[in-house]
Structure 1
Amino acid sequence: MTRIGGDVVVETLRALGADTVFGLPGQHALGLFEALRRTDSLRLVTSRVENNLAFAADGHARARLTADPHGPVPVTPMVVSTGPGALLTLASLQESRAASVPVLGISSQVPVAGLGGGRHGYLHELPDQQASFRDLVKSTHVVRSVSQLPTALREAWTTAATAPYGPVWVEIPQDVLLAETTLPALHSVTAAPPPLEPVPELLSEAAKLLSGAKNPVFLAGGGALRSGAHEELRELAEALRAPVVSTFGGKGVFGWDHPLSAQSWMEDWHTTEFLADADVLLVLGSGLGELSSNYREFAPRGRLVQIEADLGKLESNYPALALHADVRATLRALLARVPARPADGRAEAAVQDLLARVESRLDSQPLAAERKLIEDVQAALPAGTQTFWDMTIAAYWAWSTWNPEHAPMHTAQGAGGLGYGLPGALGAAAAGVPALAVSGDGGAMYGLAELATAVQHGLDVTWLLVDDGGYGILREYLNDTFGQTTATELARPDFVALAESFGVPARRSSLDTVRADLAEAVRTSGPSVVVLPAVLEMFAPTHLEHP
């Protein structure tokens, strides 16, 4: 068998640690897909649309990182073709970048002679394809010969797996993928992401501030979760008797029912004030962006200590003692420098008081159906099911209320694009993880074609589709702002009949039966769909309740 450039790509990916590749073939990528066909070392999972393919790669990486937060960083490769195929991944890669998910995007390119020209007349040709990705991913790489492949892929893999994790982009011309090669078979290509340790003097200053704090509070963000800082965070919170609030992206890094857990009510004014009252707020892996600052309403009255692996997020929104470092490594170092305090019950009492005020606020609003729905979905899932939520009202509720210890939660709130739920869950299922997808009818229309992918690959995913007849959250936003809506009401198919036309078992549910219906669907092997006709509402905006 004549070895070609595509074989070198496959061998390098396998040596680096990949076992699954998400791919959709195209004219310029034929050499790579031929190499994938004739290998038994990598599983190829296909898709119907490239943006869904990239979401699936994202979901695969998140699921594996959640299942083993201290193992090798699960960089997930995806392969697409030149031009239109590549460009369709942009919105999905934006989510991976915002959420720090290690995806290795590989695109074919026109032959080497046509790179950078845009005038050779090749199908799919762009003047500068790389430019479309350059400011979106962590790094871009263009390979111009077979000999460059192993090290270019190693460099990209290392970048994706270095904190903060994130997507990278590699372009390989058609003729490089097809070129015959005499390179030996590759088995020993390895990547060693460098550790991101805190500057010692800044670490000492952070320890001094925390040791002297009378009312320390921690805010745990997505960077804390991605770094696998679960144990270190618990130990430091218990040592300092510090309550812990989790951002939406940080859900799961701290025990939901721990006595020091103030949970995730980031859009609640009581929680915003609770954070602002801290004399030292330790911000772990969060840039305190729009959602984590309650839409910029957060106004700290004490000192902030910010630990963040993304240099650009340091002090980007609030002044702080800023440590550019991996969260887990920094917490481990702080544990050796901060003396433990006796437990006097004050922090636990403050947490209980906060959660009681949140509960009272919800009780004052007619939201029983929404609250019960989240409880029913949670109760229907076996422990360990990983859940993937589209940008829908049910997900907005779950951001605040979902207990991630029973069933970890992944959402598209990093970039906020529609269509993440189903393909993200398919990626998790391809990793052997039980998965639930939750979408509204608007977001569901982005990924209906992937029911065919689920059937083709036998992926065990349950899809809960909440059908409210339109873009529900936008309907609320427009009504609240202008008293009327525009372009939010949608014609849509009979989702049950449509799923069944793919050969996927489907049922129509109700708010009264969704727990039982979903539990039965989860027990069904392979893909299944539960359609829930329901119009949900959000809790009242907190700015209406400010003092």
Structure 2
Amino acid sequence: MRGAEAVVRALEQEGIRYISGFAGGGLAPLWGPLRASTVRPFAARNERLGVEIADGYARATGEVGVAMTGTGPGATNCLTGIAGCYADNVPVLLLMGQHPLRNLGQEWQQEVSASIFDGLCKWRGSFTRVQDIPQVMRRAFTALRSGSPGPVVLEMHQDVLTAEADESVLAYTPVGTPGKSGPADAEVQRAADMLVGASLPVLNAGGGAMSAGAADEVRELAELLSMPVATTIMGKGIFPENHPLSLGGGVYPRSRYASGAAIQINRKADVVLAVGNSFRQPNGTDGRPIPAGVSIIHINADPADINKTYQVDLPMLADAKLALRAIIDAVRQRIGPSGGGIKQEIVDEIRACHEKSEAEWMPRFTDSETPTNGYRVVHELQQLIDPDRTIALHDAGGSRGYVVPFWQTTRPRNFVAMGGMAAMGWSVGAAIGTKLGRPDHLVVHVLGDASFGMTGMDLETASRMGLPILTVVINNGGTGGGMMGMEDPNGTPPEMAVLGGNFSVVANGLGCFSERVEHPEDIRPAFQRAIRATEEGQSALVEVMIRPLPTPEIPDDWSL
């Protein structure tokens, strides 16, 4: 058996179904084995997008995403995609083609070492001998599926892929999913005492709770102790946002896009259970100190996140699902079989906060000015979709502010978010990967015209691969933040802020149904036609012209 065949067979054994990327140097030995494989490869328009397709697939399904790239510039193109996976703890395997071992160090064309990914991946391996391929693949999938997730990069030297070894030497046994680490019993008992003894405990859930599959445990504990729940951007959807205990966004003490309900309730909390969030600044917290008298219990599988921003009262280095299950059992021992339950006064306060916030924002949601604003665009779309059968993605910059605080998500992984790196244009590839993994859902992503200009050509990939996604381009004619500051002598020069382009025309040329909307009353019917197009198997783009608008934050003194 040749080395390339051993690599492909290992992927098959681990249940991999797709590889996205671009054909480049060093990958040729894989083509024969892949053509005979159950693993389906397909080309993106750029290696970065190949990684981001795998990224979206992994975020939407909880499975490992796989991408491939050739040597040199192909590998350097992947840096942005891998950095985003690393920042957000996403399990993506990048297979990197490489020159033969004998040619390294001789300045061959497109010679770039895989070491460029050091510091941006959880583990990096290399095939230096054909007989080592099974061992390296085992280490890769163990890293991808154990502890806190993250990307892995494997460097595949061309001469190793073409080398032969006995089939028994290259036989592969899948590692599956390694066991998770549970919490110490003493920590569980102390956490239960703190929560049961609290006057108003709150629960914050992040991406670690999502990757651990802890949605049932989050809901059970919240309902058991009537704990209001707020999520990070990465954790959005782990708790249904139509639940009476949902605060939406706004983890403790305050994070970006905090809801009015979160601001109101956080002022009263005395114990905070933070599960699977990293307290990353500025999205996970704005860095303000924890008030005196408030205790923090922090559950995380990554020791690097424990005591990172705040020194917490009870750190628990453990899998979120296992830790929550143990805490639930300990709490039930303390309150008895008839104790606990949702308290009506807490539900009433949260509902009143949401109603007040909605009334305050409604003028923007229904704004009739031309051009309109991004909030109305997102609001109109949400009125048309089934939240249980729709997966939404945001992008960088203004689109994140238009979508994240106001899109109501009812099920885990029905909102695919990013935040640690926040690369412009990420949502194009991620939406394609999401549709690849969840084909029975409407997949919609919202991005600005500047972001679309970076990655929009990959709508051709969605069309070619039969992956109908709905792209919403909110076009303010440039970079919104830059345009709003152009009049300031120290602001962004117009030559850097103002951009152009009619992207509905571009999308039509890439095989998509497309419309450009100038007036707000035309937004909803355009969305209806676009959704119908996706249901008929065609990707669609709706470009809505908007005016630049800042993203206001609710003040700290907001209250009922």
Q: Please name the residue that 1:70 is paired with.
A: none
Q: Tell me the CA shift for residue 395 of structure 1.
A: 2.5
The question of 1:464 aligning with 2:458 is answered no
Number of aligned pairs?
Answer: 531
Which one-letter code corresponds to 2:119 in the other structure?
Answer: D
On the 8 A contact 2:401/2:551 being kept in 1, the answer is: no
Report which stretch shifted further, 471-480 or 228-237: 471-480
> Are residues 1:211 and 2:173 paired?
no
Q: 1:287 to 1:342 in 2, by over 3 A?
A: same
Structure 1 residue 324, shift from structure 2 partner = 0.9
Alpha-carbon separation, structure 2, partners of 1:481 and 1:297: 31
Shift of residue 255, structure 1, vs aligned partner: 1.5
TM-score of the pair, normalised by structure 1: 0.90
The answer to whether the 8 A contact 1:112-1:175 is kept is yes
Task: In structure 1, give the amino acid aligned to 2:82.
Answer: L
Return 198-207 or 486-495, whichever deviates more. 486-495
CA deviation map 1:105-145 (0-9, x unaligned):
11112212345xx3x1222213xx23221211111111111
1:137 aligns to what SS in structure 2?
Answer: coil
Q: TM-score, normalised by structure 2?
A: 0.88
Residues 93 and 136, structure 1, Cα contact 8 Å, conserved in 2: yes
Residue 535 of structure 1: CA displacement? 1.9
Q: Are residues 226 and 60 of structure 1, via their aligned partners in 2, closer, same or farther at CA, if it must alter by over 3 Å?
A: same
2:447 aligns with one of 430, 439, 446? 439
Structure 1 pair 342–496 and aligned structure 2 pair: CA distance change class (3 A): closer
| Partner of residue 78 from structure 2, selected from 80, 85, 89 | 89
Closer/same/farther in 2, CA of residues 214 and 485 from structure 1, 3 Å limit? farther
Q: Work out which of the residue numbers 450, 462, 474 in structure 2 matches 1:454.
A: 462
CA 342–498 in structure 1, closer or farther in 2 if over 3 Å, else same = closer
Are 1:376 and 2:380 counterparts?
yes
Q: Give deviations 1:424-482, integer Å, cap 9, x for gaps.
A: 11112222524222211000011122122123212211211111101124445777995
Aligned to 2:226: 241
> What corresponds to 2:69 in structure 1?
80
2:61 and 2:438 in contact (8 A); partners too: no
Q: Check conservation: 1:5, 1:32, Cα contact below 8 A.
A: no
Q: In the alignment, residue 217 of structure 1 is paired with which amino acid?
A: V
Q: For 1:479 and 1:202, locate their aligned partners in 2 and report how far apart those are by CA, in whole Å.
A: 56
Counterpart of 1:310 in structure 2 is 302
Measure, in 2, the Cα distance between the counterparts of 1:413 and 1:292. Answer: 7
* CA–CA distance in structure 2, aligned partners of residues 299 and 480 of structure 1: 36
Of all paired residues, the percent bearing the same amino acid is: 25
- 1:296 CA displacement: 2.2
* Distance change in 2, residues 1:268/1:146 (3 Å): same
The answer to whether structure 1 residue 54 and structure 2 residue 81 are counterparts is: no
Instruction: Rate the CA distance shift 1:401–1:177 in 2: closer, same or farther, 3 A.
Output: same
Letter in 1 for 2:384: A
Q: Which residue type is aligned with residue 384 of structure 1?
A: R
In structure 2, distance between residues paired with 1:224 and 1:513 = 40
For residues 388 and 504 of structure 1, the distance between their equivalents in structure 2, rounded to whole angstroms, comes to 19
**Gaps spanning 5+ residues in structure 2: where?**
368-372
In 1, distance between residues paired with 2:206 and 2:226? 19
Aligned counterparts of 2:88 and 2:545: Cα–Cα separation in 1: 30
Match of 1:348 in 2: 347
Structure 2 CA distance for partners of 1:249 and 1:304, relative to 1, 3 Å: same
CA distance in 1, matches of 2:95, 2:220: 40
Amino acid of the structure 2 residue aligned with 1:327: A
CA distance in 1, matches of 2:269, 2:489: 33
The CA RMSD measured in Å over matched residues stands at: 2.6
CA distance in 2, matches of 1:459, 1:343: 42
Q: Which whole-Å CA distance do the structure 2 matches of 1:327 and 1:477 have between them? A: 43
**Secondary structure in structure 2 of the residue aligned to 1:228:** coil
Aligned-partner SS, 2:45: coil
Could you tell me which residue of structure 1 aligns to residue 549 of structure 2?
Answer: 537
Change in 2 beyond 3 A, CA 1:465/1:235: same
Stretch moving more, 508-517 or 96-105: 508-517
Match of 2:436 among 415, 427, 430: 430
Superposed, 1:324-363 pairs within 5 Å as 324-338=317-331, 339=335, 340-359=339-358, 362=361
How far off its partner does 1:351 sit? 1.9
Q: Deviations over 1:472-527 (max 9, x none)?
A: 24445777995665555333332122222223221112422222212221221122
Partner residue, 2:370:
none
- State which drifts further: 387-396 or 464-473: 387-396
Match of 1:277 in 2: 268
Structure 1 contact 54–78 (Cα < 8 Å) conserved:
yes
